[in-house]
Structure 1
Amino acid sequence: MLSIGDISENVPVVTLKTKSSDVNIIFEEQPNLEGIVVAGNNKPLGLVMKAQFYKKISVKYGFDLFMGRPIELVMDTKPLLVDYFDPITKVSSLAMDREQANLYDYVVVTKDDKLQGIVSIKNLLIKLAEEQVNQAMYTNPLSGLPGNVLIEEKISEYLINRNKDFSLLYIDLDHFKEYNDTYGFKKGDLLLKEISNLLSKNVLLNNYDSSFVGHIGGDDFVAILPHYNYQQICQLLITEFDIRLKQYYNEIDWKNKFVYTKSRNGQFRNVPLVSLSIAVVTNKQDEFHSIEDVSKIAAEVKTQCKEKGGSCYICF
Structure 2
Amino acid sequence: MAHVLGTRVIAEGVETEAEFLVCRDLGCDLMQGYFIARPTTHMAELQPAYPHVDGGGVRRHSSTLDSILIRKEIEQLPAVRESDDLDAVFDHFRLNPRQPFFPVLNANGEPRGILPEYHVKEMIYHPFGRDLLKNRIYQRRISHFVTPAPIADLDTPADEMLKIFAGMDGSDCVILTENMRYAGILSAASLLKIINEKQLKTAQEQNPLTGLPGNRAIRDYVQHAILDGDETRYFCYCDFDDFKPFNDTYGFQKGDLAITLFAALLRRHFIGEEKFLGHVGGDDFFVGASGLDEEEIRAVLLRLINEFRPDVRQLYSPEHQSAGCISGYGRDGSARDFPLMRCSIAVLTLPEGFILSDSQTVSKRIAEIKARAKASKDGLVVELLDGR
TM class, shorter-length: 0.5 to 0.7
Q: Which of 86, 90, 95 is 1:29 aligned to?
A: 95
Q: Indicate whether 1:120 and 2:186 are aligned.
A: yes
Q: TM-score, normalised by structure 1?
A: 0.58
Q: Indicate whether 1:57 and 2:128 are aligned.
A: no
Q: What is the distance in 2 between the residues matched to 1:76 and 1:157?
A: 34
Equivalent positions of 1:1-316 (< 5 A) are 1=64, 2-3=66-67, 6=71, 7=74, 9=76, 11-15=78-82, 18-19=85-86, 21-31=87-97, 33-42=99-108, 43-50=110-117, 52-53=118-119, 56-57=121-122, 62-64=125-127, 66-67=129-130, 68-69=132-133, 70=140, 75=145, 77-95=147-165, 99=169, 102=170, 105-110=172-177, 114-121=180-187, 122-149=189-216, 151=218, 169-173=236-240, 191-197=261-267, 201=271, 205=274, 213-223=277-287, 233-239=297-303, 242=306, 260=318, 265=327, 276-280=343-347, 297=368, 300-305=371-376, 308=377, 311-314=378-381
Q: What is the distance in 2 between the residues matched to 1:78 and 1:280?
A: 46
Q: TM-score, normalised by structure 2?
A: 0.50
Kindly provide the CA deviation profile for residues 164-199 of structure 1, in whole angstroms up to 9, marking residues without a partner as x. Answer: x99753213569898xx8xx8998676434444367
Deviation at 1:126, TM superposition (A): 4.1
Counterpart residue number, 2:331: none
Kindly provide the CA deviation profile for residues 257-291 of structure 1, in whole angstroms up to 9, marking residues without a partner as x. Answer: x994757559xxxx97x8542134689xxxx9899
Q: What is the distance in 2 between the residues matched to 1:28 and 1:175?
A: 72
For 2:122, the aligned partner's letter is I
Structure 2: 5+ residue stretches without partners: 1-63, 134-139, 226-231, 329-338, 351-358, 384-388
Q: Secondary structure at the match of 2:202?
A: helix
Deviation at 1:79, TM superposition (A): 1.5
Query: Cα gap change, 1:245/1:264 in structure 2, threshold over 3 Å: closer, same or farther?
Result: closer
Kindly provide the CA deviation profile for residues 143-177 of structure 1, in whole angstroms up to 9, marking residues without a partner as x. Answer: 5543235556888999xxxxxx9975321356989
Deviation at 1:39, TM superposition (A): 3.3
For 1:9, the aligned partner's letter is Q
Asked whether the 8 Å contact 2:347–2:366 carries over to 1, the reply is: no
Root-mean-square deviation (CA, aligned residues, Å) is: 5.5
Structure 1: 5+ residue stretches without partners: 159-164, 207-211
For 1:119, the aligned partner's letter is I
Q: Secondary structure at the match of 2:149?
A: coil
Q: What is the distance in 2 between the residues matched to 1:236 and 1:303?
A: 18
* Matched residues, number: 279
Counterpart residue number, 1:162: none
Q: What is the distance in 2 between the residues matched to 1:157 and 1:91?
A: 16
Asked whether the 8 Å contact 1:214–1:222 carries over to 2, the reply is: yes
Q: What is the distance in 2 between the residues matched to 1:36 and 1:315?
A: 54
